[in-house]
Chains A and B, each alone.
Chain A
Amino acid sequence: MSKYLITIGLETHVHLKTCTKMFCGCSTEFGSEPNTNVCPVCLGYPGALPVMNREAVKQCVIAGLMLGCEINHISTFDRKNYFYPDMSKNYQTTQQELPLCVGGGVTIDTPAGARLIRIHHIHQEEDAGKIIHYARHSGVDFNRCGMPLMEIVSEPDLTSPDEAMAYLHNLRQILVYAGVSECNLEEGNMRSDVNISVRPEGQAELGTRVEIKNMNTFKGIHAALKYEIERQLYVVRSGGRLVQETRRWESELGETQPMRTKENAHDYRYFPEPDLVPVVLSKDTVEEWRSALPELPAARRERMVREYNIPEYDAGVLADEKPNADFFEAAAAICGEAKILSNWFMTDVMCLISESGLTIEQCALTPGALAGLISLVTQGVINGPTAKELLPELFRQGGDPTALVESRGLAQVSDCGALQSYVDEVFAAHGRSVADFLAGKKAAAGFLTGQVMKLSQGKADPKVVNQMIAKKFAELS
């Protein structure tokens, strides 16, 4: 069977983090009552004119700078004409001729090494509203209509669904680091259209392109790509011909289905938006923004290794999600125990994150509380097991670990008098284990330590207990 090459390109729409919409003063808040964040501009009333949101332009340019794009110093908007009930003006204000950013790319790791996935351009546009279907009628919610979006168009440089995932993961990470989007997939902050084609090895021109529209989960994109590649390979291998078309991913069926073919493609009749003057960005402005750019994820990993003296692996895990890295750094600044902190974060805290489905920003744990908890352990106020019991509570309900330890009397017992009496009591009650130990079964010491801990209700410092037991055996032998 001949070998086929797979070509994938992505068009990723990302909501920007502005307070107001692209061309009007309406709020961009998610989850409001339908049609409450609307005005004559975003509802397309006659006579209403768009007003450029400078903050959205800035965020789009910052994203471009983070992704290594060239910035167009003069950038223009165009109208894309099509009728659909969620598009109030029945044209979308977007950028076709002169987008804000061109070029750039995202580096991904592949089994063959790191590779740059090139970006063709990034343009700015407005989102559409949302159609809600009921049993006998449909409704339109225009709250989302006019929200600022940027569309990041990659070159067809991806060759597998896994590479597409790596690209999206790294792209998302950079955009979150840039501070220009939450990239919250559930809220539809980041949606992608994918273009896929297959061609026999050795053929120069790309195969017939199929577009799958509007997917908002990475998992869905991966599954859709996998399905679509297999479908295309099946068609060409069985001697069939692919048609250029747009398909939709039906996640419940696990397959793509045709939406429209090239013959039925929209003629968008783009032309320059006469209501908006070109966006002019001086070199000085762009350089000023460039000089204030946030750190890229790779730079942060390196810095964290250097600054906190933690292993590269730890830095990689922590820096993967910007909020986690922010949390870690804030906590490290308080307690100073970076390596212990990173162990706690990567195991216990991340476990709680995945169990609860909350993010570090959504949970009740603060950097101060985690730092405090770790300080209590390192200072010997509480022991490790007590701290591990307290953590889930701090994660869910919040609170101050020092106050909790105090009010519940969880401080460990290092009073030698009290501990000595527990040790004596255990030695008296478990003569068999004592004899085992003396006969050479060293493991018996662990059992005895456990019994002492039990008597102390977990509050004893295990290190001290071990020392006392060792001392007692020394006396006995």
Chain B
Amino acid sequence: MEDIALLTVAATLRGLKNREFSSVELSQALLNCIDAKDGQLQAYLKVDADYILKQAATADQRRAAGDDAPLLGLPIALKDVINVKGEGCSCASRMMEGYRSPFDATVAAKLRAAGVVFAGRTNMDEFAMGSSTESSAFQVTRNPHNLECVPGGSSGGSAAAVAGGEAIAALGTDTGGSIRQPASFCGCVGLKPSYGRVSRHGVAAYASSLDQVGPLTKSVEDAAILLRELAGYDPNDGTTLDIAVPDYASQLTGNMQGVRIGLPREYFIEGSDPEVTAAVLSAVEACRAAGAEIVDLSLPHTEYAIAVYYILANAEASANLARFDGVRYGHQTAAPGSVYDLYANSRAEGFGAEVKRRIILGTYVLSSGYYDAYYGKAQRARTLIREDYTRAFESCDVMMTPVAPTAAYKIGAATQDLLKIYLGDVFTVPASLAGICGISLPCGSTTDGLPIGLQVLGPAFGESRILSVAHAYEKIRDGR
């Protein structure tokens, strides 16, 4: 086995298929890695060695019996927001500490059918609300490139585990950048599929009209391999679309010739770290040199995206999180005197500060008398943002932008200035509002040695396109 820290999904599947190593050997090696590193990184909330090795042994038996499921024996870490029957699903919240899922999320069921070994639950911002994984109720995950820095969020545990060599691949969720931004901060690949491409059934909801599950991996090819297994129509999620799922990996041509790359000028602005802008522009230049055509364009409503996002996402969250009331499951306050106490105390004790803040904001913007000014206006602005993209994609095939205005920042720095953190989502949020797809992949690093991410955006259900362009760039970058 080559260095497990560098092992990709593609290489793992080859190794398993060719019997170079068994799933049990691989899983054990991975567990050793986690043992060695996670004390520092704290990427995982839970790693159950017996459970992992048991699944791996089953996978090995299946292979011995001639089973050839596409991901058979591949260990994948899951963000602790995805339900797996019988497993915990804490959402990094005291509210859900000790909870056991009664059912499989559709993505979990699909991966199970594909032969995956569920390899530990990764840390995250509480209920996926945050951009640094610092709002986790349980631990602070560290950036593998600098332990003083945050891994990004909310899927910070998944990104840190993959980038830190503690996972071959992981699943995250992205509502306003929660896959792409931590991938950028940690230096791995993160794919946010188009809204409706991957089922949300069984994934604890933050903002229903925005949430999507996607892979965090070490290569674009890996993201393509996993997306094929995750994507598709789900009768249990009415917002998924019945559009055929291609074999994404086979469509990675590596060809940059004639690709029209749009550069939205609103994404190259003062206020971004110049090192970040420079790295992205030099990636774009490399693509141009390889035959791409660069198109200058404008997405004029970008400036409203952050406000729109925090209104709509929090409004939906205020309803989505109402179910955590201490009545049926989750944290229940001791000896409540009344139904009101039961609700108020269970929620006061169970939720952290950021979750409470967003519930209160979301409740406010939906309140009688404020609905039109906030929610109604935000919905209209969302339509304008979506139309910006539709128009722009008439003149380009993909867009290239930074993922975030900065590289990873110091732990604790952000909590001082919340607004700055919210503004850090400025380049990821618009695509979420538009429902389009985007992928984040490394394109350089700062002088401090922190990774910088390149975001490739494509139209809704244009995953093949962004994967292909990202893969072509990856080859240029690595001189392959």
Contact = CB atoms under 8 A, between A and B. Distances in A.
Interface in B342-372: 343, 363, 366-368, 371
B238 A81 contact: no
Interface stretch (A12-20, A175-183, A268-276): A268-276
B238 A271 contact: no
Contact of B238 (A46, A50, A83, A140): A50
Contact of A90 (B101, B201, B325): B325
A269 B235 contact: no
24 contacts: A44-B328, A45-B323, A46-B91, A46-B204, A46-B324, A47-B200, A47-B202, A51-B236, A81-B366, A83-B322, A83-B325, A85-B327, A85-B339, A89-B319, A90-B323, A269-B363, A269-B366, A269-B368, A270-B371, A271-B319, A274-B239, A274-B316, A275-B205, A275-B208
Contacts of A90: 319, 322-323, 325
A470 interface: no
Given A47-B105, A47-B201, A79-B319, 14 more contacts: A40-B102, A44-B323, A45-B101, A47-B205, A49-B201, A50-B238, A52-B238, A85-B339, A88-B323, A90-B323, A91-B319, A271-B315, A271-B316, A276-B238
B108 to A, nearest CB: 10
A88 B236 contact: no
B102 A45 contact: yes
Most buried by B among A40, A79, A271, A276: A271
B103 interface: yes
Contacts of A51: 235-236, 238
Interface residues of A, number: 28
Interface residues of B, number: 42
Contacts of A270: 366, 371
A48 interface: yes
B316 A49 contact: no
Nearest to A265: B368
B226 to A, nearest CB: 20
A274 B208 contact: yes
Contacts of A46: 83, 89, 91, 96, 204-205, 323-324
Main secondary structure of the interface of B (DSSP, over half): loop
A90 to B, nearest CB: 4
Interface of B: 82-83, 89, 91, 96, 101-103, 105, 200-205, 207-209, 235-239, 315-316, 318-319, 322-325, 327-329, 339, 343, 363, 366-368, 371, 375
A43 interface: yes
Interface centre among B207, B327, B371 (most CB of A within 10 A): B327
A45 B105 CA distance: 12
Contacts of B208: 274-275
A88 to B, nearest CB: 7
Contacts of B339: 85
A277 B316 CA distance: 15
Contacts of B315: 271
B323 A89 contact: yes
Nearest to A277: B238
Given A269-B366, A274-B316, A276-B238, A47 B322 contact: no
